Every structure is written in structure tokens, then in C-alpha cells.
């Protein structure tokens, strides 16, 4: 134990298996119940007759369960196309962000170069600017580039967002310089430092960034709604928002109930792949860290 390296902490920690654990279990179970109950309500409601969702929202009668909302939703909106487009955007935008954000953050955190501070200051300002005001300028830009209704318009703006760089910079700044210097002495080149030293150390934060990035891309709708006007380019959230518009307004419209049913069905279908991704991420990143450090 000469140096204390983050991520290499020896685990598992010795802890008393005692009343404390039992109490934490009860606390956590109750809390997850509160966290999951509303989502469970939404999932269950998707199987209720549409008008019952509105007129009797809290009950659930298994005998009247129905797939009507799902069949109607699949018939009405191109949710399959939505999945496909979201998948394409997710793969490319996610990969760009998860690779280039830590890389740029590493550059900012561990090197000096002219204008660095000014650049980073600009990053901070854009971070604090509400995205909603940027929509029109960005859209004008897309028009100039001829990118409206293209994948690049869905992928590039917002890829490597300022927040990702900000966060990763603060995480990488915490990696001790001695560690990097030691690796340099061992003949590590600069990029190898990043790949072999920095990335393993920041893995927990990287996992967090992956969660955030996936979720942001998956659930983003303001930008896709305005930039993807053709059905061919509609992402999953664009599909959801065309359903939701009739409800978020003021319940005007004869099909308020049926649309609510379709919306809940679509939201349920949309949620499943995301949960699968998270369970996979969880295994890959978080458990991976644990396993590795136990061995180490």
C-alpha cells in the first residue's frame, strides 16, 4: 500500500452483518417501492380499457385487462420506425460522446495549452444556457447546411455535450499526476496513458456518464421533434410526443381517453429496451469494477 489509488480500493469492505443491514434493507425496499409504484401504475394502466384509465385511474381489474391500447397504438404510430431511428442515433451519438468527451476532458485536465482556460470558460457558459433558446439558431444552421431530416442533424448537435466534458474533466483532474508520470517513465505514450491509466480509474464515473448519455439521447424530444419532420426520421420520442400533444394541452378532443391509453402503451414499450440497456450497463461497468478490484 504505497500509493492509494482510486478504483483499486480493496474490497469487499468488512461490515457488520447486523441490525443495521436489516434496517437498511427495509429502508431500501420501501424506498424502491415508492420509486417503482408510479411506473408500475403506468405499466398496468396500459392494459386497462382506455376510458377506465381516465374515469377510474386507481383501480385495476384483471378480468377487464386488454391489449386494445397496444394494438391501437401499433396501428396508429410508426413506433417500429421510431425504435430503429433511436437505435441509430443512440449508437453513433453515444459512441461519439462516450469516447470524445473523456478524451477532451483529459486534454483539459492534464495538459496546458494556449487559450485552454478561455475555451473551458466558454464550455461553462454554454452549460448554463437553457437549451430551449438554442433551438431556433440551431435549426437555422441545419437549414443552411441542408441537414434537416437527416441523421447527422439528429446526431451531431448535442454530441459531446458540454456537461459530459465538464463532468469528466472534474473526475480526471482527481487522478493523481504521479500515476501518469509513473506510466510515462514506463514508456507509455500520451494516448496510451488515457486508455490504460485514466479510463480504468474513472470507470465508475464513465458508467454514470453512459447512463446519462443513453438516457439523454433516448428521451430527448425537443430537438428531434423540430429537426425530424418526416415520419422516416422520427425517433421514438417524436412518436410519443405526437401522441402526447393531445393530452398535455387541455384535454380537448373526443379521443382524449383513447390517446391516453395509446400513450401509456407506447411509453411502456419505450421503457423496456432502456431497462435492458441499463441492466447490461450495470453488469458491464459496475460489477466489472468490483470483480476487478476484488482480484487485484
Partner 1 sequence: MRIGRATAYRTHEGVLMDQLHPRRRTARPVGACHPRPVAAALALVAATALAACGPEITPGDGGDATAPADDPDVLQAPTGDSPSGEITIWSRSGDLYKVFDAAIDDFNQKYPDIEVDHRAVDIDAKLQNTLITGTDVPDGVFLDDAKVAGFAEHLWDLSDVLQPYVDDIAPQKVDVNSLDGGIYGVPFDLNPGLLYYNKTALEKVGIDATRIETYDDLLAAAREYKSARPDSGPIHLERSAFLAQLQLEMYASQLGTSIADENGELRLDSPEYERILGWLDTVRTEGLGTRAEYLTPSDIETLESGRQVFYPWAIWFSFAPQQLLPETAGDWRAMPLPAWEEGGARGGAMGGSSFVLPKGGESSELAWLFYEFLMFDEAGYTAVWGPNDIYPGGLNTSIPSYRPAADATEPLFDPVDALGGQDLWSVAVEAGRQIPGGAPIPAWWAGAVDHLGTNMQRMFDGELTPRDVIERSSADIQKNLVERQ
Partner 2 sequence: MTLAVDTQASPSASPSPKRRANRSRWRRQLAPYVFVLPFIAIFAAFGVYPMLFTLRLSFTDWRGSGAAEWVGWDNYTYLLGNEGFWSSVSNSAVLWLLIIPVQLLLALVIAVLLDNAKLRLRSFYRVAFLVPFVTPLVAVAQIWVVVFDQDYGAVNAILNTFGLPDVGWLTTSLWAKPTLALLFLWKTTGFIVIILLSGLQSIDANVYEAADIDGASRLRQLVNITIPLVRRTLMFSLVLQTLAVFQMFAEPFVVTDGGPYGSTTTAGLHLYEHINRGDLGTGAANSFLLVIIVMALSLLFVRLLRAEDR
Distance of closest approach, residue 125 Cβ to partner 1, in angstroms? 6
Q: By C-beta, is 37 or 174 nearer to partner 1?
A: 174
Instruction: Dig out the grid coordinates for 261 from the structure.
Output: 391509453
Residue with cell 476484488: 294
Opening angle at CA 232, ends 146 and 235, nearest 5: 95
CB 51 within 8 A of CB 257: yes
Of the candidates 290, 254, 284, the residue with the CA atom closest to the CA atom of residue 7: 290
Q: Of 176, 215, 272, 279, which one interacts with partner 1 (CB under 8 A)? A: 176
**For 249, which DSSP code?**
S
Quick check: 176 binds partner 2 (CB under 8 A)? no
Residues numbered 216-245 forming contacts with partner 2, rule: CB under 8 A: 218-219, 237, 240-241, 243-244
Q: By C-beta, is 6 or 78 nearer to partner 2?
A: 6
Quick check: 108 binds partner 1 (CB under 8 A)? yes
Q: By C-beta, is 94 or 197 nearer to partner 1?
A: 197
Q: Cis omega (within 30 of 0) on the bond before 12?
A: yes
Separation between Cα atoms, residue 219 and residue 232, nearest integer Å: 18
First to last CA, the chain: 12
Quick check: 103 binds partner 1 (CB under 8 A)? no
Residue 74, contacted partner among partner 2, partner 1, none, CB below 5-8 A by kind: none
Quick check: 117 binds partner 2 (CB under 8 A)? no
Residues numbered 180-209 forming contacts with partner 2, rule: CB under 8 A: 182-184, 186-192, 194, 196-197, 200-201, 204-205, 207-208
Query: CA-CA distances (angstroms) from residue 136 to 70, 148, 159, 225, 234?
Result: 35, 13, 18, 12, 19
Q: By C-beta, is 84 or 179 nearer to partner 2?
A: 179
Separation between Cα atoms, residue 240 and residue 73, nearest integer Å: 10
Separation between Cα atoms, residue 67 and residue 265, nearest integer Å: 9
Residue with cell 487522478: 175
Quick check: 4 binds partner 2 (CB under 8 A)? yes
Distance of closest approach, residue 229 Cβ to partner 2, in angstroms? 17
Separation between Cα atoms, residue 106 and residue 201, nearest integer Å: 12
What own/partner pairs with CB < 8 Å and gap ≥ 24 does 283-287 have?
Answer: 285/203, 285/204, 285/206, 285/207, 285/210, 286/204, 286/207
CB 221 within 8 A of CB 241: yes
Residues numbered 233-262 forming contacts with partner 1, rule: CB under 8 A: 238, 241-246, 249-259
Quick check: 253 binds partner 2 (CB under 8 A)? no
Instruction: Dig out the grid coordinates for 185 from the structure.
Output: 517513465
Q: By C-beta, is 74 or 200 nearer to partner 2?
A: 200
Binding mask 59-98 for partner 2 (x = CB under 8 A): -------------------------------------x--
Say how many residues touch partner 2, by CB under 8 A: 131
Quick check: 26 binds partner 2 (CB under 8 A)? no
Distance of closest approach, residue 267 Cβ to partner 2, in angstroms? 4
**Binding footprint of partner 1 on the chain (CB under 8 A):** 4, 6, 51, 54-55, 57, 76-77, 108-112, 117-122, 124-125, 135-137, 139-140, 142-143, 148-149, 169-171, 173-177, 222, 225-226, 229-231, 238, 241-246, 249-259
Amino acid at each position: 500500500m504505497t500509493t492509494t489509488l482510486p478504483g483499486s480500493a480493496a474490497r469487499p469492505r468488512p461490515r457488520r452483518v447486523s441490525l443495521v443491514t436489516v434496517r437498511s434493507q427495509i429502508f431500501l425496499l420501501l424506498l424502491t417501492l415508492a420509486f417503482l409504484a408510479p411506473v408500475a401504475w403506468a405499466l398496468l394502466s396500459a392494459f386497462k380499457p382506455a376510458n377506465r384509465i381516465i374515469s377510474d385511474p386507481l383501480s385495476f381489474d384483471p378480468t377487464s385487462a386488454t391489449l386494445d391500447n397496444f394494438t391501437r397504438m401499433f396501428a396508429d404510430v410508426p413506433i417500429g420506425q421510431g425504435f430503429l431511428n433511436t437505435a441509430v442515433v443512440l449508437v453513433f451519438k453515444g459512441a461519439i460522446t462516450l469516447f470524445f468527451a473523456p478524451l477532451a476532458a483529459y486534454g483539459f485536465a492534464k495538459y496546458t495549452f494556449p487559450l485552454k482556460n478561455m475555451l473551458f470558460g466558454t464550455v461553462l457558459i454554454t452549460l448554463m444556457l437553457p437549451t430551449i433558446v438554442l433551438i431556433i439558431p440551431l435549426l437555422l444552421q441545419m437549414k443552411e447546411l441542408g441537414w434537416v431530416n437527416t441523421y447527422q442533424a439528429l446526431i451531431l448537435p448535442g454530441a459531446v455535450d458540454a456537461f459530459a466534458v465538464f463532468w469528466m474533466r472534474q473526475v480526471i483532474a482527481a487522478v493523481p499526476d504521479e500515476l501518469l508520470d509513473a506510466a510515462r517513465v514506463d514508456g507509455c505514450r500520451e494516448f496510451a496513458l488515457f486508455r490504460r491509466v485514466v479510463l480504468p480509474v474513472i470507470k465508475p464515473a464513465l458508467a454514470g456518464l453512459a447512463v446519462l448519455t443513453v438516457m439523454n439521447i433516448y428521451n430527448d424530444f425537443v430537438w428531434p421533434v423540430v429537426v425530424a419532420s418526416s415520419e422516416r426520421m422520427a425517433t421514438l420520442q417524436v412518436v410519443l410526443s405526437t401522441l402526447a400533444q393531445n393530452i398535455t394541452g387541455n384535454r380537448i378532443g373526443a379521443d382524449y381517453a383513447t390517446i391516453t391509453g395509446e400513450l401509456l402503451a407506447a411509453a411502456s414499450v419505450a421503457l423496456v429496451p432502456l431497462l435492458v440497456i441499463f441492466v447490461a450497463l450495470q453488469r458491464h461497468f459496475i460489477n466489472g469494477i468490483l470483480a476487478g478490484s476484488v482480484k487485484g
